[in-house]
Amino acid sequence: MLNIGILGFGTVGKATFEILQERIDVIEASVGDEIIVKKIFVRNKNKHNYDNIDANLFTDVISEVVEDDSVDIIIEATGDVGVVYEGIKVAIANGKHIITANKEMVSRHFEELNQLANKHDIQLKYEAAVGGAIPILCQIPKIRELNEIVEINGVLNGTCNFILSAMEKGMDYNKALLDAQQAGFAEADPTADVEAYDTVRKLRILATLAFGVKVAEDEITREGIINVSKKEIDTSKKNGMRIKLVAHAKKTKDGIEAFVKPTEVEINSVLGGLEDGENAVSVVCDNAGELVFKGKGAGGRPTAFSILSDFLAIACK
């Protein structure tokens, strides 16, 4: 029997639980064992609808999950860094495998988390922290075995891509942002997205893995989309270009060059062809050339897909 503890039951945590229940027979057959969700941590139990879910699964005391000796795997989907990060460290010390979608936590504590995982001989997986449903992080080690990765380019934020796509269709920034929030792409406070902090965190994780050296957040030049004007977008379009929030990292003779900023890309290119919440990553290698990964970069179920892919990678070993 494999027991799971879930931290967070918002859009991503709930979608993960639902897919797990919907496909439990297939997943258990793949794993070769029974799978039980033992406990779910939420900040406020009164905010959740428990229709068709046993209310006794829920707790607002994180230690009841991370210190439960019967829990084998923790799925973290809170987006929190403070209390949850401390809980994750406790869980690792207690020998629990960790799966997280929390790009801020992984980016801020990347080296420490990986060192703790190695020390306690547990698996730490964070595919869902970068690119939503796109299986990019799991491919990087495989690519590096036979290649030197020299450059990465990507569109890694569904909110910004949604807003820029809407502005191309004639919408002003504020209306596009409101539509992104109503569509579930943007948070009530969209600062992390539109000011490019979210993309910087994702690039920090991706570049550190790809180049095998620490690429810190403060080493990445950052510019968000809030100052992109409708006039700039229209001019780019007339010239066969589109403006995208591009994440770029490249090996140079002086080290790693990295930035996130609104950038013109050719309208018929991989990045230029992205619409709404789509993401894409281009990985340039010395042997394989350019490898492109594309898919849904946001949303509950696409992100839950990556979480459960990590779960299968752990449980099927």
**pLDDT attached to residue 51:** 72
CA distance 118 to 138: 17
**pLDDT attached to residue 19:** 97
Domain encompassing residue 229: 140-297
- Mean per-residue pLDDT, 165-175: 92
Residue 102: count other Cβ atoms within 10 Å of its Cβ.
25
Burial of 141 (0-12, 13-18, 19+ CB in 10 A): exposed
Residues 257 and 220 in one domain: yes
- Mode of pairing for the β-strands spanning 255-266 and 221-222: parallel
**pLDDT attached to residue 255:** 93
Residues 286 and 164 in one domain: yes
CATH of the domain at 183: 3.30.360.10
Using alpha carbons, select from 153, 146, 160 the residue that is nearest to residue 292. Answer: 153
Residue with tokens 């799925």: 75
**pLDDT attached to residue 106:** 97
Residue 85 confidence class, pLDDT cut points 50, 70, 90: very high
Residues 45 and 101 in one domain: yes
Q: What would the two tokens of residue 265 be?
A: 């890309």
Residue with tokens 């707790």: 59
**pLDDT attached to residue 17:** 96
Q: Is 153 helix (H, G, I), strand (E, B) or coil?
A: strand
**Cβ partners under 8 Å of residue 291, min gap 6:** 139, 143, 282, 283, 284, 285
CA distance 193 to 177: 11
**pLDDT attached to residue 187:** 78
Cα separation values, 244 from 232, 262, 275, Å: 12, 5, 10
The percent of residues above 70 in pLDDT, for the chain, comes to 99
Residues 190 and 279 in one domain: yes
Q: Is 278 helix (H, G, I), strand (E, B) or coil?
A: strand
Q: Looking at per-residue confidence, does 51 or 3 come out higher? A: 3
Q: Are 297 and 131 in contact (CB under 8 A)?
A: yes
**pLDDT attached to residue 183:** 77
Residues designated catalytic = 202
Residue 35 confidence class, pLDDT cut points 50, 70, 90: very high
Residues 201 and 241 in one domain: yes
pLDDT digits (tens, 9 = 90+) for 281-298: 999 999 999 999 999 988
Residue 60: count other Cβ atoms within 10 Å of its Cβ.
11
pLDDT digits (tens, 9 = 90+) for 177-211: 998 888 777 777 899 999 999 999 999 999 999 99
pLDDT digits (tens, 9 = 90+) for 246-258: 999 999 999 999 9
CA distance 265 to 224: 16
- Mean per-residue pLDDT, 32-41: 96
Residues 124 and 102 in one domain: yes
**pLDDT attached to residue 50:** 67
Q: Is 118 helix (H, G, I), strand (E, B) or coil?
A: helix
**Cβ partners under 8 Å of residue 225, min gap 6:** 160, 163, 164, 194, 196, 245, 262
**pLDDT attached to residue 79:** 84
CA distance 87 to 116: 13
Q: Is 258 helix (H, G, I), strand (E, B) or coil?
A: strand
The percent of residues above 90 in pLDDT, for the chain, comes to 85
Residues 72 and 211 in one domain: no
Residues 161 and 265 in one domain: yes
Residues 89 and 223 in one domain: no
Q: Are 302 and 14 in contact (CB under 8 A)?
A: no
Q: What would the two tokens of residue 29 be?
A: 């057959």
Residues 126 and 145 in one domain: no
Residue 93 confidence class, pLDDT cut points 50, 70, 90: very high
Residue 114 confidence class, pLDDT cut points 50, 70, 90: very high
Q: What would the two tokens of residue 142 be?
A: 């495989």
Cα separation values, 17 from 36, 52, 182, 236, 316, Å: 11, 12, 23, 43, 19
Q: Are 114 and 209 in contact (CB under 8 A)?
A: no
pLDDT digits (tens, 9 = 90+) for 129-155: 999 999 999 999 999 999 999 999 999
**pLDDT attached to residue 180:** 85
Whole-structure pTM value: 0.94
Residues 81 and 218 in one domain: no
Total number of domains constituting the chain = 2
Residues 6 and 150 in one domain: no
CA distance 87 to 85: 5
| Beta-bridge partner residues of 216 | none
CA distance 228 to 173: 9
CATH of the domain at 86: 3.40.50.720
